[in-house]
Amino acid sequence: MTHDKLNGRTLHLWRGRNPAEDTVELAQAIAKSPAELFNDKGQLVYPNGGHLSPVSKERLLAFITEHIVTRRVVNRGTAEAPIQECEYCSFGFHPGMDLSLGPNDRVLMTLLTGRALERMPPGSSGNEFERGSVAWWVPKV
């Protein structure tokens, strides 16, 4: 793989087997990326005009789109004559998306707040989502 296709972004693969683990791994990837994010008493913040501003859902999505990339196989041909290629793209965080396929809008909110917003699997306490917050992994101020 050439790193040119990443355009300076961090590669993260959503595996779709365990939403809690995938969310934590995505939070870690965001924290390791060049995004300038910090933890101010548990709140995710970023430097903005000489001050620290809270990160909104929209701003977090912008940071992720700018700094994180995933890969997928796409058909550049037809159904009859497929041409399969690897494509690098951003996560969509589409509402209601099946978590086995990628993160959805509720995962984005978990990344922002650290609270589980999905229906929890049987036997799960929900505490594993605390570390799904990006604020858990970035430096404190």
Residue 111 contacts residue 117 (beta carbons within 8 Å): no
Pairwise CA distance, residues 29 & 12, whole Å: 7
The pLDDT, as a whole number, for residue 119 is 53
pLDDT along the chain (141 residues), means of 10: 78 92 94 95 96 97 96 95 95 94 94 72 54 90 95
pTM for this entry: 0.85
**H helix intervals, the chain:** 19-32, 57-67, 105-113, 134-137
Pairwise CA distance, residues 77 & 75, whole Å: 5
The pLDDT, as a whole number, for residue 1 is 44
Pairwise CA distance, residues 37 & 135, whole Å: 8
Residue 128 contacts residue 45 (beta carbons within 8 Å): no
Residue 127 contacts residue 38 (beta carbons within 8 Å): no
Tell whether the torsion through CA atoms of 11, 16, 17 and 20 is positive or negative.
positive
